[in-house]
Amino acid sequence: MRTFKLIFAISLLLATVSFISWSDSTASENNGADKISVSKDAKPNVSNVNFENLGIMIASWYGPRFHGKLTANGETYNQMAFTAAHKDLPFGTFLRITNQRNGNSVVVRINDRGPFIEGRDIDLSMGTAFALGMVKKGVIKVKVEEITLNDYSPPFATLN
């Protein structure tokens, strides 16, 4: 078994090196494509990240019973992904969730609706609950901040 692992590791290393050297060609060598040059003085397109405080919420978590089923936005629920369910926030909203007791924070994406138990404001995936240290407790108070970018326009495509 040890020999197999060593052979696999060497094969992986050789494949990686050959891939890097193969892909290390200039644009003009690739099917007559134009070369792309970048000025040393070019400034990167950077947006400032904002954290809008949405307040303290009562959070619970959900996982095994829903794993593999469809979420409200149509994607398959992965209990270990950093996602969350909220009744009103738009799908795709990114939030920073902070456990008020231990200070652990995680960034989640809204992809589902809920929670449907009175007194709870947000349902977190089991992976998020692990990261926040709340699995055993089940329901905790969390600080919720929406993450937004200044001067950011997401790319879009047009159909012809």
Write out the residue range of the structural domain in which residue 114 sits.
49-149
Fill in the DSSP letter of residue 111: E
pLDDT at 63: 85
**Model confidence pTM above 0.95:** no
What pLDDT shows up at residue 150?
A: 80
55 domain-assigned:
yes
3-state helix/strand/coil string of 59-92: EEEECCCCCCCECCCCCECCCCCCEEEECCCCCC
Question: Is residue 135 in a domain?
Answer: yes
In a domain, 5, yes or no: no
Q: What is the pLDDT of residue 146?
A: 97
| C-alpha torsion 4→6→9→11, nearest 10 | -70
Spatial contact of 99 and 142, defined as CB atoms under 8 Å apart: yes
Residue type present at position 142: V
Please report whether residue 99 resides in a domain. yes
In a domain, 104, yes or no: yes
H or E element that contains 16:
helix 2-22
- Structural domain count, the chain: 1
On whether residue 30 sits in a domain, the answer given is: no
Confirm whether 19 is domain-assigned.
no
CATH, residue 112? 2.40.40.10
Instruction: Supply the pLDDT for residue 49.
Output: 87
Across the chain, which has 160 residues, the per-10-residue mean pLDDT values are 51 45 44 58 70 97 92 95 97 97 97 96 97 96 94 59
Residue 41 lies in a domain: no
